[in-house]
């Protein structure tokens, strides 16, 4: 059996950004609207700093405006809510992203639900989560949207396929399962309490790994020819004292069995940011009254 096809998330993200840049230019010309994203970053988490910088760079490269609001780790919840309220009222801002994780003294759910739902480009507001579940015009979270775009590009119509999502977070697992269900897959959500996870995974035509555990999914957990989407990204130490990035899937042994698989890095990661740009454009169009859906 030959190795699985590599699903090139970087190429897909580049192509998507090209389409978004063209749409942004058209929106500016026709309505004088420049989509603007505000990114709120609390504290100095190094990974968050890298993400935020990358988001800002890609926003501006697509012709959109990006505003960074950095606040110290010690900010009070009340002051953070005041900032969000200001951004909710600011007409130059169409999308608001509060970078996670937040410090422990801040109630994450309370803060995320303070973002105006129409500016919630992360799709984390409970109203958007509910709309997504009900299938009515929601702003969906960026990582699951990116996974769906890769799957649809790879497989076309997903109707009737058996999809297994490993992980049940509000950010990835649950919305991913919902999007797959809307695409007419037969969906199983597996998690840390699932009995015989290997047997459940082996049923999957589509396997989405979002468990947050390095190399949890082994090659012999994968059905021959399955499409494998790896959402995980972890830096692990190697025997030589160096480090390398791995996903939730043991890549080499899984590639020998799967039909197609995303690499880490270069798979899902680039698509997440491209989808954030897409959601910001959608929010700007909606706020300008250019979209008829809710």
Residue (175 or 259) nearer to ligand GUN, CB:
175
* Near ligand GUN by CB under 6 A: residue from 23, 120, 122, 154: 122
Our finding on whether 128 is near ligand GUN (CB under 6 A) is no
Distances (CA, A) of 146 to 28, 77, 89, 176, 290: 25, 31, 29, 10, 24
Residue (97 or 209) nearer to ligand GUN, CB:
97
By CB under 6 A, which span of 98-106, 178-186, 245-253, 278-286 interacts with ligand GUN?
98-106
* Near ligand GUN by CB under 6 A: residue from 37, 62, 80, 97: 97
Question: How would DSSP label each residue in 99-166?
Answer: PSPPPTTS-HHHHHTTS-GGG-TT--SHHHHHHHHHTSS----HHHHHHHHHHHHHHS--TT-EEEEE
Closest contact distance (angstroms) between CB of 190 and ligand GUN is 21
Our finding on whether 100 is near ligand GUN (CB under 6 A) is yes
Query: Checking DSSP bridges between strand 234-237 and strand 243-246, what pairing results, if any?
Result: antiparallel
Residue (170 or 186) nearer to ligand GUN, CB:
170
Closest contact distance (angstroms) between CB of 142 and ligand GUN is 6
Q: Is the dihedral of CA 99, 102, 106, 108 positive or negative?
A: positive
CA distance 176 to 150: 13
* Near ligand GUN by CB under 6 A: residue from 38, 75, 93, 98: 98
Closest contact distance (angstroms) between CB of 239 and ligand GUN is 29
Residue 127 tokens read as 């109203």
Our answer to whether residue 55 is catalytic in this structure is yes
Distances (CA, A) of 265 to 105, 171, 172: 32, 19, 17
Is the CB of residue 95 less than 8 Å from the CB of residue 37? yes
Our answer to whether residue 29 is catalytic in this structure is no
Catalytic residues: 55, 99, 122
Q: In the complex, which residues of this chain contact ligand GUN (CB under 6 A)?
A: 97-100, 122, 142-143
């Amino acid at each position: 059996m030959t190795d699985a096809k590599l699903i090139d998330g970087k190429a897909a993200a580049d192509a998507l950004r090209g389409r978004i840049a063209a749409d942004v230019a058209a929106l500016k010309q026709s309505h004088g609207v420049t989509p603007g994203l505000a990114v709120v970053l609390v504290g100095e988490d190094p990974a968050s700093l890298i993400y935020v910088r990358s988001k800002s760079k890609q926003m501006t490269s697509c012709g959109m405006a990006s505003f960074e609001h950095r606040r110290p780790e010690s900010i009070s919840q009340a002051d953070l809510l005041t900032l969000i309220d200001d951004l909710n009222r600011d007409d130059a801002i169409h999308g608001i992203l509060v970078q996670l994780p937040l410090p422990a003294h801040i109630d994450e759910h309370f803060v995320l639900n303070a973002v105006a739902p129409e500016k919630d480009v992360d799709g984390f507001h409970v109203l958007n989560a509910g709309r997504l579940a009900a299938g009515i015009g929601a702003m969906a979270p960026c990582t699951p949207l990116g996974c769906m775009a890769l799957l649809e590009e790879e497989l076309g119509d997903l109707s009737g396929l058996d999809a297994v999502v490993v992980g049940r977070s509000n950010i990835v697992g649950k919305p991913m399962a919902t999007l797959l269900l809307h695409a007419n897959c037969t969906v199983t959500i597996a998690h840390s309490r699932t009995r015989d996870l290997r047997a459940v995974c082996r049923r999957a035509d589509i396997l989405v790994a979002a468990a947050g555990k390095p190399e949890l999914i082994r090659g012999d957990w994968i059905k021959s020819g399955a499409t494998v989407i790896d959402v995980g990204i972890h830096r692990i130490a190697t025997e030589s004292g160096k480090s390398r990035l791995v996903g939730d899937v043991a890549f080499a042994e899984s590639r020998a069995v799967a039909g197609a698989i995303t690499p880490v890095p270069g798979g899902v990661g680039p698509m997440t940011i491209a989808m954030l740009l897409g959601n910001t454009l959608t929010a700007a169009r909606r706020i300008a009254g250019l979209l008829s859906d809710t």
